[in-house]
Structure 1
Amino acid sequence: MTRWKIVAGAAAVLLFIAGCSAFALVWRPTIAAVASPSPASFQPDLIRRGRELAAIGNCNTCHTAREGRDFAGGLPVSTPFGTIFSTNISPDPDSGIGGWSEAAFRRAMRAGVDRDGHHLYPTFPYDHFTSISDEDDHALYAFLMTREPARAPARANELSFPYDQRWLIAGWKLLFFRPGTYRPEPGKSVEWNHGAYLVEGLAHCGACHTPRNALGAERTGASFSGGEVDNWQAYAINTRSPAPVHWDREALISYLRQGWHADHGTARGPMAEVVRNLSSVPASDVADIATYMADVFGPSPAGQKEPPAIQSFAGPPGDPGAAIYAAACASCHESARPLPYGGVDLARSTAISASDPRNLANIVMSGVQPVAGESSPIMPGFGDSMDDGQIVALLTYLRARFGKGPAWTHVEDIVKQARQTQTAYLQPSLGPQNARADAAQRDKP
């Protein structure tokens, strides 16, 4: 009897220790609310730098719902576990972050915990934001606290059990989250390190361009090897890139700054929002990002920049895809006129050489809108004038004629999915000049 009492007592002690450990893992204290700081308390230069950093972080895209007010949240983010709605980060004191102290803001950025002590879902990429410096967090706080307050209560997430249990995020963090600010790489240039700091941190490029595991964490061993977002393929942006023409620093600067490049085509889908924001930040920031990413892409294979020769392929007699291409595409894409006056050389198209036709289907359906204030590429969308069968035939022909790799499979299913989501990114892009003017107007305290 005494022996069983000892065993029971030991088990009780172990359970108590386990319970305390679990509580310590999950619990975070509330940080007291503060009065919203006066916009006049922040210097204009600090606000301006905060705006630039927010643009690099693409904050407005995720925290502004379509037809919604700036930074008021409510944008649905689809995940394998359900839909999560972005939060209000305007300085509204009740539904936004107007009552957050700078310490509360920094904890959310560094540790993924809100002012009330709740663990944040990692759709808010604090696994990247944790590396941001104190100075940059301070500038971001100043910028957000000088925006127009927008009352917009948070929408309830639509997650299945057990993913709707927020306390489980503490366990996810234990497995996958490694907090800590960026440490410069010895032996690398100042520009390279600043680019790495931005790419790996605030710009969180890997959040889209890195595949994820079954629990939604980035597979760190496959960094920048490609991912997916909103029915678009986020291409590999490392040595596994499917681009027929190698990405170098100059091409990256042009593409990230203007949204297009003659050797690589035009940014579409979620990437169009990224370059829209990057068009308004200092050129030096974009150049540093390009310096780092050019190193990630690695050297050009055998020093070759031109795409490999494409064997002429007209298709079998009566091929409907060839006929559609001749009628709808060839007059621009075979005009030999340079961008933006002619179509991109399709032998250089990453969309055609990619592992699946999602991006090409989206582009064919929705087209390419011009960038305001820029001599940029333009292409009509064919979603209304072609049915799914015609688009399948065209994509199949383009892959065989201009692509590399085997024929795509499940093209019909991919086209059907693209049809359902083709209206998601139809709004025109905001050009660099307009973006800067708009930003300057909004930076007034």
Structure 2
Amino acid sequence: MKGKVVFVAVVLAAAAGLSQAWEPVIDPVSAPPSQSADAIQIKRGARVAALGDCIVCHTAAHGKPYAGGRPLETPFGTIYSTNVTPDMQTGIGDWSLDAFRRAMRDGVSRDGHLLYPAFPYPHFTRMTNGDIADLYAFMMSRAPVHATAPPNRLVFPLNFRPLIAGWNMLYLTRGPGRAVAAPAMAPSAASAALGDAAAAAGGAASADSAYAVQWQLGRYLVDGVAHCGACHTPLNTLGAEKRDAPFAGGTLEGWDAPALTKLSQAPTPWTHAQLVAYLRTGFASEHGAAAGPMLPVTQSLAKAPPDDVDAIATYLMSLQTPASTPTVNASMATSAATSTAISTNPQPADLDQLAPPAALATGATLFNAACASCHSIVAPMSTHGDRPSLAQGTAVNADSPRNAVRMMLGGIDWHGSAAAHFMPPFAQTFTDAQIADLANYTRARFSAHGPWPGLDAAVVARIRKETAEP
């Protein structure tokens, strides 16, 4: 793998001819724009920053907002986010709007060096000049922080920035995205996206027009500033999104980002309203709570205008693909008795109703001791407050055990608000073998799939060592 990466990197360097490996310097400004700039424009910029989740990537753990230093783990090593406060020495205080726009569109810093695409400029390039200018005004209104990010730790030769010129030649399409006609709207889509009353009151033509406007806005946000594909699209060998598999799911920071094209294939198919609620609150009563890298995204989207989040949901719901005919995998079955119990009664009131095979006995014991008080059908959390059964959860029904194991290891931190969702971590409580037993039992107990094939202590150990969050 390393040899292949080195070879491809050399080819890229030759293809680029290093002619575009360093761009011209844009003259610095003597001082950042006044923080008393157009308050309305700064407010618009705050909207863009919330949609782009800028604060999460550009804020280190326990660091100052937007001061950078957060480690971003990639298959090629660690990249540290930069300081985007208006500090004149370590931030972007001496950047003009032209320099900021070039970074967003072309991935080029003010001094001419190329930025790594961990900064998602392949998406930001699709933003309008107006949105980029608004974001610039917002960033320049932040408090300046003097902070220098640690040096990146990348494998050779990918630590040689001029190679990015070749990457850009292959994968960067510069400039705002081209308009695409909205798909034909089904009546159900109109009711979901616009509301039954609004769709009926506006008539078919008006509803079509309103849906098209909302869809276009959603597409612009998803493909641009929100950069959803950066996480939810699989990457190729060189870390670029696979163009033939948009939104088909990806992996980052030790978590699987699920496919956004299969929301209608969930045990309870997602609706437009449920997706809006999830994106704005981090919780959908029919599906569960956000965790891992998605949790801070929902916290940022909570600060975005509701109409924008609604448009994002409209566009994402239009991407759904029909489910293929399911096939039976014998390795995913447990035993005839257990499979019957799971399919006919996926959440029995009394856990003793389920007689797990010997392979799941340890997991059942662990579940009863550590999980049943919250996740059994008679637990207060399950009977009050519209909490969904684990049977509805994406992690339990996923093909990969990664997210379920991540949840068990790290839990969900308490954020001190009434709307927070909390789960205690078990990384220091259970061994790798116990986590594997618990995960396999939970999947057999709450889904129709049976235990994950191959999930054992060694797999948990590998997941435990991966960096999930800095």
Matched-pair contact (CA < 8 Å) for 2:401–2:455: no
2:295 is aligned with 1:272: yes
2:99 is aligned with 1:58: no
Structure-2 residue corresponding to 1:26: 21
Deviation at 1:75, TM superposition (A): 1.1
C-alpha distance in 2 between matches for 1:21 and 1:396: 49
Q: Which amino acid aligns with 1:295?
A: S
* CA gap 1:242/1:151 in 2 versus in 1, 3 angstroms: farther
- Which deviates the most, 345-354 or 127-136? 345-354
2:364 is aligned with 1:322: yes
Deviation at 1:244, TM superposition (A): 2.1
Q: Which amino acid aligns with 2:408?
A: V
Structure-2 residue corresponding to 1:97: 92
2:423 is aligned with 1:390: no
Deviation at 1:45, TM superposition (A): 1.4
Q: Which amino acid aligns with 1:327?
A: A
* CA gap 1:344/1:411 in 2 versus in 1, 3 angstroms: farther
SS of match in other structure, 1:297: coil
Residue of structure 2 aligned with 1:135, choices 130, 137, 141: 130
Deviation at 1:370, TM superposition (A): 4.8
Which portions of structure 1, spanning 4 or more consecutive aligned residues, are displaced by more than 6 angstroms?
Answer: 18-21, 299-302
Matched-pair contact (CA < 8 Å) for 1:242–1:350: no
Give CA-to-partner distance per residue, 1:369-393, whole Å, 9 cap, x none: 4554434543333333322222211
Structure-1 residue corresponding to 2:304: 281
* CA gap 1:106/1:72 in 2 versus in 1, 3 angstroms: same
**Number of matched pairs:** 402
Deviation at 1:292, TM superposition (A): 0.6
Structure-1 residue corresponding to 2:373: 331
- Which deviates the most, 359-368 or 66-75? 359-368
Deviation at 1:295, TM superposition (A): 0.9
Deviation at 1:348, TM superposition (A): 0.6
Deviation at 1:34, TM superposition (A): 0.6
Matched-pair contact (CA < 8 Å) for 1:83–1:157: yes
Deviation at 1:121, TM superposition (A): 0.6
Residue of structure 2 aligned with 1:155, choices 132, 150, 153: 150
* CA gap 1:88/1:375 in 2 versus in 1, 3 angstroms: closer
Normalized against structure 1, the TM-score is what?
A: 0.84
SS of match in other structure, 2:343: coil
* CA gap 1:339/1:168 in 2 versus in 1, 3 angstroms: farther
Matched-pair contact (CA < 8 Å) for 2:87–2:144: yes
* CA gap 1:421/1:300 in 2 versus in 1, 3 angstroms: closer
Matched-pair contact (CA < 8 Å) for 2:35–2:140: no
Give CA-to-partner distance per residue, 1:51-78, whole Å, 9 cap, x none: 1211111111111111111111111111
C-alpha distance in 2 between matches for 1:154 and 1:339: 47
2:457 is aligned with 1:415: no
Q: Which amino acid aligns with 2:272?
A: R
* CA gap 1:343/1:320 in 2 versus in 1, 3 angstroms: farther
- Which deviates the most, 369-378 or 322-331? 369-378
Deviation at 1:124, TM superposition (A): 0.4
Deviation at 1:358, TM superposition (A): 1.5
C-alpha distance in 2 between matches for 1:420 and 1:179: 37
Structure 2: gaps of 5 or more residues: 1-12, 184-211, 326-341, 346-353
Residue of structure 1 aligned with 2:418, choices 347, 352, 374: 374
Matched-pair contact (CA < 8 Å) for 1:265–1:349: yes
Q: Which amino acid aligns with 2:407?
A: I
Structure-1 residue corresponding to 2:248: 225
Q: Which amino acid aligns with 1:162?
A: P
Deviation at 1:235, TM superposition (A): 0.8
Residue of structure 2 aligned with 1:260, choices 272, 283, 286: 283
Residue of structure 1 aligned with 2:258, choices 215, 235, 248: 235
Q: Which amino acid aligns with 1:177?
A: L
Structure-1 residue corresponding to 2:403: 359
Deviation at 1:240, TM superposition (A): 7.4
Matched-pair contact (CA < 8 Å) for 2:433–2:456: no
Q: Which amino acid aligns with 1:243?
A: A
* CA gap 1:373/1:157 in 2 versus in 1, 3 angstroms: closer
SS of match in other structure, 2:93: coil
C-alpha distance in 2 between matches for 1:227 and 1:123: 14
C-alpha distance in 1 between matches for 2:295 and 2:249: 17
C-alpha distance in 2 between matches for 1:152 and 1:218: 31
Correspondence list, 1:67-106, <5 A: 67-106=62-101
Structure 1: gaps of 5 or more residues: 1-17, 303-308, 426-445
Deviation at 1:301, TM superposition (A): 9.4
Q: Which amino acid aligns with 1:76?
A: P
Residue of structure 1 aligned with 2:390, choices 346, 356, 364: 346
* CA gap 1:240/1:378 in 2 versus in 1, 3 angstroms: closer
Matched-pair contact (CA < 8 Å) for 1:310–1:401: no
Correspondence list, 1:3-18, <5 A: none
SS of match in other structure, 1:222: coil
CA RMSD after TM alignment: 2.6
- Which deviates the most, 341-350 or 387-396? 341-350
Normalized against structure 2, the TM-score is what?
A: 0.79
Structure-2 residue corresponding to 1:184: 179
Matched-pair contact (CA < 8 Å) for 1:260–1:376: no
2:174 is aligned with 1:174: no
Structure-2 residue corresponding to 1:125: 120
2:427 is aligned with 1:400: no
Q: Which amino acid aligns with 1:244?
A: P
Give CA-to-partner distance per residue, 1:199-258, whole Å, 9 cap, x none: 111011111111000011000111111111111111111137763222221111000011
Give CA-to-partner distance per residue, 1:338-380, whole Å, 9 cap, x none: 5764753121111011122111112122323455443454333
C-alpha distance in 1 between matches for 2:158 and 2:369: 50
